Amino acid sequence: MTKPDLLMTGPMMQTIQDQLAQRFTLHKLWEAADKEALLRQLAPSVVAFASGSHVSCDPALMGRFPGLKIVSSFGVGYDHVDAAWAGQNGIVVTNTPDVLNEEVADTALGLLLCTMRQFPQTDRYLRAGKWLEKPYPLTGTLRDRKVGILGLGRIGKAIARRLEAFGLPVVYHGRSAQPDVAYRYYPSLVEMARDVNVLMIVAPGGAATSKIVNREVLEALGPDGVVINVGRGTVIDEAALVEALRKKTILSAGLDVFEDEPRVPAELIAMDHIVLFPHVGSASVHTRNAMAQLVVDNLVSWADGKGPLTPVSETPWPPTM
């Protein structure tokens, strides 16, 4: 029996490759000496993509494959895939939600603690032998902090539960109010920023959220304000953030994501009063294995005629058209 052709657009975990190779004829785009020649060769036969977040699955790429039916994406964010175009052209897109909620929420709280209490800096201080000279200076605190969450989705709610356990008030901003939550909703991001002193960003990327945390929002947050971002780097205007940190328009920032990863602005790297993580929100062995399995399970379920397990909202299953 001939296996269907699947294009893997970029390097993925070995467990994904091994399992998919059992069910599909697997083609690894990144290994091709002549990628253009491979794309031309596979154009008539490829029915499925497996994709990571650092390769753009835009109409120019997907449109080369008239038989393409499914794009299985690794990660909960899928702004690297033009899902709206895919849906309009009969292609289902899947992501890996839920299995990473708790891990990312843990990271968000860890990043907040590190930023407020300067734990990475205190570690460097001790290792440099400076504790022998004098105690580390006093730091900020989570006490008397109020947190505004930008993006109260699955991960945002998991973060909110942890914040409540810390005794911190929580409010939120998003596209619309959610009737099933007790937190106060702000229709205006600027107004929420004025009323909180921690802005926790969990929003997805894409055109709708591009640079919405801009100079006006940062100024509203104020000189005691802290920005934490575990969503997408594109949600923040990085130039405005650098300026706000340099001018002390806000107090500090903790960032796990950046606009042009893995390239991080030198101005941010040079600042010792902020905390920077290399996009490790879901990066534990346990959680990445669960995400990898969901990539595989979506493709296998589709190949078995059962439909995808976790289609994104732009490509519902079964199709509504």
Q: Which of 232, 238, 259, 288 is catalytic?
A: 232
Long-range contacts of 53-62 (CB under 8 A, 24+ apart): 53/77, 53/78, 53/80, 54/10, 54/80, 54/261, 55/9, 55/10, 55/29, 55/80, 56/80, 56/81, 57/9, 57/81, 57/82, 57/86, 58/82, 58/85, 59/85, 61/9, 62/86, 62/89, 62/91
Q: Is 27 a catalytic residue?
A: no
Place of tokens 């976790």: 310
Strand order in the sheet with 184-185: 184-185, 170-173, 147-150, 198-201, 226-229, 252-255, 275-276
Radius of gyration of the chain from its Cα atoms, rounded to whole angstroms: 22
Place of tokens 């650098």: 242
Q: Which of 124, 261, 273, 286 is catalytic?
A: 261
**b/e map 202-213, b = 16+ CB within 10 Å:** bbbbbeebebbb
Q: How many other C-beta atoms lie within 10 A of the C-beta of residue 294?
A: 22
Q: Is 238 a catalytic residue?
A: no
Helix or strand holding residue 131 (H, E): none
Q: Is 232 a catalytic residue?
A: yes
How far apart CA 72 and CA 75 sit, in angstroms, is 10
Is there a contact between 201 and 231 (Cβ–Cβ < 8 Å)?
A: yes
How far apart CA 112 and CA 120 sit, in angstroms, is 12
Q: Which of 117, 154, 184, 279 is catalytic?
A: 279
Q: How is residue 76 written in tokens? A: 């909960």
Q: Max Cα separation, the chain?
A: 73
* Residues identified as active-site: 232, 261, 279
